[in-house]
Every structure is written in C-alpha cells, then in structure tokens.
Chain A
C-alpha cells in the first residue's frame, strides 16, 4: 500500500515537472518566435532561401582571397593541383591570357 502511494506520488510529481518544463518552453518560444505560422504560405516563407549562384561564387572568392599567400594558400593550391589548372595545353597562347576561360573555351 505504501509503495503504491510512493509510485503514485512519483508519477504525479514527474507529470507536474514535465508540465512545468513544457509551459516554460512554450513561453520562451513565444518570446523568441511570437508569431507561429498560421497558414501554409507563411510556413513556406520561414524556409531559409538557398544562396544564389553569384552569392556562392562571391563566398568562394572571399575564401580564396583569405586563404593565405603563396605557398600558404593551401586550399586554393590543392584545388589548383587537383584541376591541374596551370598545365592545360592552350595556356601558352598569348591571345588567351586567361585561357582556358570558361565561357570561351572553344568546344571544337
């Protein structure tokens, strides 16, 4: 009988504690995010937008600029080696200073 009371008390106190945590969470959420999405359209607006291609390119270029100097440019150096960029066959064509340039690399 005594142990049944103990179990009942433990269950009730656990339920009260959980309820308290739940209310606290809802209250905090209410401060942080006062307007819950009320329509599917609003909910959709909350999905973070994907970065655009120009933004992504800018971010990569920023990191290349910050990637140290000379031999310390480790990530860019590794990428350059991977693509074997400086050794491409048309590179010594003085007309094509940036050759191979992406828009222009002849496809023939």
Chain B
C-alpha cells in the first residue's frame, strides 16, 4: 500500500465550516466563497461525525472548531441541533471541546447562554481601535465593523464569559504598538493573538511585503512586550507564550507539527469536502495538485484520505519541504516547519522553505522572546 504516512495519525482538531458566508467583507480575507449563504446540512454534519467517531484516528479528546466563514450566521437553533447530534453520536470516553472564532457582531444573550451551557471557547476577531479595525474589517456595504464588534465584546464581558482576541497585524498597525496596547488594556482584553496579514487563498498580496517589514515587526513585538512589562499588565500574547515554551522546554519538540502531519487537523467543508493540514486550503486549488480536498464524507471514510493519490503526492512534497527546512533553517527546532498553506500559496509548492509567515510570525517572535530570556539570565547575545 503506497502511502506517505509514517506514523498512525490522530485527529486532534476538527475544523467545521458551518457556512462559508460572512456578514463582513474584510479586505485580507482568504476565503473564496464567503458570499455563499450555504449552510452545512444536518445530514452532512451527521455523516461527518459518524465518519470521525467510527474512524481509528481518535484519541481521548477532540477539539471541534467552527470556522472558515462567520460561524454565528446559522443561528443558535442550528447549533443546538448540531451539538445534540454530536453528543448523540459521541463514543463513551471521548471528550469533545467546541471552539468558535467569530467577529462578534451577531452576539446576543442567547448565544452567551448557549456558549455557557456547552463550555464553548470563544475567540473574537478585532484589529484594535476603530480606525485601525475599520480600515480592513468592513461590513458588506463598506462601513466599519468596530462598534458592532465592541458591542459583542462588552456583552461577553458584562456576562463574565471568557474569550480571547485575534488581531491581524497590518502595515498600519505595526507602527502603533502603543495604541494597540492601550486599546487592549483599556478594554480589559487579557488574552491576545497576533496574526500577521498573510498571503493566503484569494488574498494574494499583503501590506506586510517589503524590505523593512522584518525589522518593523520585531520592533512591534519588542515594544509591545516592553509595554506589558512597564505597565505590569496581565496580557497574555499567544506568540510570546508559545515561543517561550518552545525555547524553554526541550520536550515541546515532541509535540510535532499538526499543520504538517496528516489528519491531526481535519477540515470538513460546507458540502462535506474533506481536507487536512490546514483549513485555509478548504476550497483552494493549486496549479500543481488541483483541488486540495481529498474526498467527501458522503462517499469516503476518513481512512480513504490516506490513499488518495493527490494526498500522497501532497504529503510526500510536505515531507520533502520539512527536510529542506530542517537542513537550511536555524529556527527549525522551535518551528518544525511552519505552515503548509503558506508554503503552497506564497511559494507555489509544499516543498519550499521560508515564507512571510515564517519570517514575521516565527523568526521575529523567537528573536524577541529569546533576547528577553537572555537578558533575564544575563547572557550576552
């Protein structure tokens, strides 16, 4: 049997596209079908979980992430049915955690009650103060989304529901770390992740391209870290925490790279299309491989993915790319090869090496966090 899979994989994160539609029209969005109002049918949902729950690729815990569109669009009743179906099919002994990444504009008390009842982890996308946010995160008629998103954040806070924030860093925000810091501090936002504006999917150019951007990103992270320290602020930054763990903890390498290993992240599109490696690849077709969907839950078992000839070609290319990263990059031991989707979309091939994402979200962060640790230990770099 010809397969590129070396170890028995395990599904850790299941990304479900309940709808590709989004009520916003952010200028850096990578989703090709975000005007489509299709919703994942209950039949597709049921088939998905029958496939996943009866596969041999489960461990004791599964994270279900509702994403790749605005997940609140289908409404609370849709999720009440969906969660009941999942619970009915769930094997004994398997823990399922639900996560939602939302623009928060549609949040209301009914949603918060639903989240609380099911212990849903909530991430809110907002890009900082109104002018920075509204520059990119626009409504369908071109207006700003800041006020609506902040109304959602206030609702979560007023009801003591925990959440984290994802902010996309653009060229404009890089020069304003102080304003961003004071925005989070003033609005009680304590858990934070920075995504750099990437070249992904249908978003083919980033404002972060250019010669000076590496230096600017480092300065941004450095200033932000200094501000946290100077103000004694309790703000956790995903990038800093993760880099700290990777540097401090030699065993962190054992965790591997779920974005490079098949099935660890399994994505199911609105029509039941199956993909793996990265949800950004949902609906994406490359010149080299064609569609990067490896079957459909209505026709295929999860195990069939591993036998799909395009999957095997892609997987072999990914392994080769990983080896090239290992051989050529000083940061490999704390990065483990980065993100597949970025390699393909930026460089045209999975067996390529450095990407914008590598430089700005991995190397720049490691540089800043490592320097901080060296200073604390009085080590000259």
Evaluate contact between A60 and B374: CB separation under 8 angstroms: yes
Does A36 sit within 8 A of B, measured CB to CB? no
Q: B377's contact among A60, A90, A104, by CB below 8 Å, is which?
A: A60
Task: Indicate if the CB atoms of B164 and A98 lie closer than 8 Å.
Answer: no
Bound Cα distance from A76 to B249, whole angstroms: 11
Interface residues on A, range: 35 or more
Is B338 among interface residues, defined by CB-CB distance under 8 A?
yes
Nearest-neighbour CB distance to chain A for B366, whole angstroms, equals 7
Q: Chain B residues near A79 (CB, 8 Å)? A: 244, 248, 372-373, 376
Q: Is the CB of A95 within 8 A of B373?
A: no
Q: Which of B248, B279, B333, B381 contacts A108 (CB 8 A)?
A: B279
Q: Are B164 and A104 touching (Cβ within 8 A)?
A: no
**A95-B59, A95-B63 as given contacts; A85 in contact with B334, CB under 8 Å:** no
* Contact stretch, chosen from A15-23, A27-35, A39-47, A50-58: A50-58
Min CB–CB distance B19 → chain A (angstroms)? 16
Choose among A59, A85, A103 the residue that contacts B338 (Cβ–Cβ < 8 A): A103
Instruction: Output the least CB separation between B229 and chain A (Å).
Output: 7
Q: Contacts A57-B247, A89-B121 given: A84-B379 contact, CB under 8 Å?
A: no
Give the contacting residue for A64; candidates B121, B193, B248, B256; CB below 8 A. B248
Determine if A94 is an interface residue (Cβ-Cβ < 8 Å). Answer: yes
Q: Which of B182-231 contact A (CB under 8 A)?
A: 191, 193, 195, 228-229
Contacts of A84 in B (CB 8 A): 234, 236, 241
Chain A residues within an 8 Å CB radius of B258: 104, 106
Nearest CB in chain B: distance from A94 CB, A = 5
In the bound complex, how far is the Cα of B12 from the Cα of A75, in angstroms? 34
Query: How far, in angstroms, from A102 to B339 measured CA to CA in the complex?
Result: 12
Residues in A with CB closer than 8 Å to B162 are 89
* Minimum Cβ distance to chain A for residue B18 (Å): 14
- Other-chain residue from B229, B248, B336, B339 in contact with A60 (beta carbon distance below 8 A): B248
Residue of B195, B236, B377 touching A75 (CB-CB under 8 A): B377
Judging by beta carbons under 8 Å apart, are B381 and A56 in contact? Answer: yes
Residues from chain B with Cβ under 8 Å of A87 in the complex: 236
Per the CB 8 Å criterion, the residue count for chain B at the interface is 66
Q: Complex formed: what's the CA distance from A101 to B242 in Å? A: 5
Give every chain A residue within 8 A of B65 (Cβ-Cβ). 106, 108
| A93: chain B residues within 8 A (beta carbon) | 61, 63, 97
Q: Which of these, B67, B238, B248, B330, contacts A105 with CB under 8 Å?
A: B238
If A61-B250, A82-B229, A88-B236 touch, does A104 touch B259 (CB 8 Å cutoff)? yes
Residues on A with C-beta less than 8 A from B335 are: 102-103
| Interface: A3 (CB within 8 A) | no
Query: In the complex, which residues of chain B have a beta carbon less than 8 angstroms from the beta carbon of A89?
Result: 121, 162, 164, 191
Assess whether B92 is interfacial by the CB under 8 Å rule: no
Q: Is A78 an interface residue (CB 8 A)?
A: yes
What is the distance, in angstroms, from B234's C-beta to the closest C-beta of chain A? 7
- Considering the complex of A and B, which 3 residue pairs feature the smallest CB-CB distances, nearest first? A102-B246, A103-B336, A102-B242
Using a CB–CB distance below 8 Å, which chain A residues touch chain B?
A: 50-54, 56-57, 59-61, 63-64, 67, 75-76, 78-80, 82-85, 87-90, 93-108
Partner-A contacts on B (CB < 8 A): 12-13, 15, 59-63, 65, 67, 95, 97, 101, 121, 162, 164, 166, 191, 193, 195, 228-229, 234, 236, 238, 240-252, 254-259, 265, 279, 330-331, 333-339, 361-362, 366, 370, 372-374, 376-377, 379, 381
Supply 4 further A-B pairs (C-beta < 8 A) apart from A99-B255, A101-B245.
A80-B244, A85-B244, A102-B334, A103-B338
